[in-house]
Amino acid sequence: MGKFDGLLLVSDFDDTLYDSHHRVPPRNLAAINYWLREGGRFTVATGRAYTTFAPYVHLAPINAPVVLSNGSAIYDFHTDTMLVETQLDPRAPQDFQALMASIPSLGMEAYHGEDIYVYRPNYVTYGHMRKVGTDYTVAPIADMPTPWNKVIVQQEYDQLLRARAWLEEHCPERYEAIFSNRYYLEVTRRGCNKGGMVQRLIDMLGVERDNLYCVGDNQNDIPMMALSAIPFAPANCAQEVKDWGAKLLCHCDEGVIGDIVEILDRKY
């Protein structure tokens, strides 16, 4: 019996577990390995889709299914099984064509299974594709295969605020639109966010809410941190996360998972 038996630690990936130097800091790896030796479970809840996260899953020891695409899927990398997968409303191509026409500065990525389709790429899109290092196809929206798992709308923050307002006005109750940073507006099926999928995950695993701990750095992490017995955030988190009231720890570059495991080591 380990001191962390029955506990689940869920971390966001980019700018939380994975740092600004594009690595998982050694302190995080040491902390996770100790956590696992003491019986704890560790996993990731990321805005990345299967295609953009799979090349990185080996960077940390994960022993529970992963929440993908900002809460639209749960994937078990140990058995290579998609446990839960949701899709956007069938009207999504028409909706996003109208959105793109209304705000011509926007670019977007649409995710169909393991394939990424890009419409009207801008400098944010190109930067994102370089960061994740995966292939993509530039195509008119009408030529993109469906269904879509999620869409990322990309531009400066003020333009994305307009896009979110447009979706709420013209497509009410169809989509969940939430920021994963100031340049990415992540769009999933209504009700599908990190909080909802982490809840489904703990139901699958039989983990009690009091035994769940979550850490994240941006607005899209708040729904899962709201479930956490103690909601943690790295010092580099968005102002919205600070204002929300997460417990602030060290910068992600300094190994924020190490801070969490030290706190829980004292608690248990």
> Per-residue confidence of the chain (268 residues) as pLDDT tens digits?
799 999 999 999 999 999 999 999 999 999 999 999 999 999 999 999 999 999 999 999 999 999 999 999 999 999 999 999 999 999 999 999 999 999 999 999 999 988 999 999 999 999 999 988 888 999 999 999 999 999 999 999 999 999 999 999 999 999 999 999 999 999 999 999 999 999 999 999 999 999 999 999 999 999 999 999 999 999 999 999 999 999 999 999 999 999 999 999 999 9
Whole-number Å distance between alpha carbons of 262 and 92: 45
The pTM (predicted TM-score) of the whole model is 0.92
Question: Buried (b) or exposed (e) across 223-256, using 16+ Cβ within 10 A?
Answer: bbbebbeebbbbebbbeebeebebebbbbbbbbb
User: Position 170: which residue type?
Assistant: H
State the DSSP code for 173.
T
Nearest CA to 196 among 92, 111, 89, 74? 74
pLDDT, position 134: 86
pLDDT, position 133: 85
Cα angle, residue 152 at apex, residues 150 and 110 outer, rounded to 5°: 55
Which class for 36: exposed (0-12), middle (13-18), buried (19 or more C-beta within 10 A)? middle
Q: In the chain, which residue ranges form alpha helices assigned H by DSSP?
A: 26-37, 50-53, 92-102, 123-132, 157-170, 194-205, 222-225, 239-244, 256-267
pLDDT, position 237: 97
- Paired strand residues for 81: 76
User: Position 73: which residue type?
Assistant: A
Whole-number Å distance between alpha carbons of 198 and 102: 34
User: Position 150: which residue type?
Assistant: K
Residue 176 neighbours by CB distance under 10 Å: 21
pLDDT, position 258: 98
pLDDT, position 131: 86
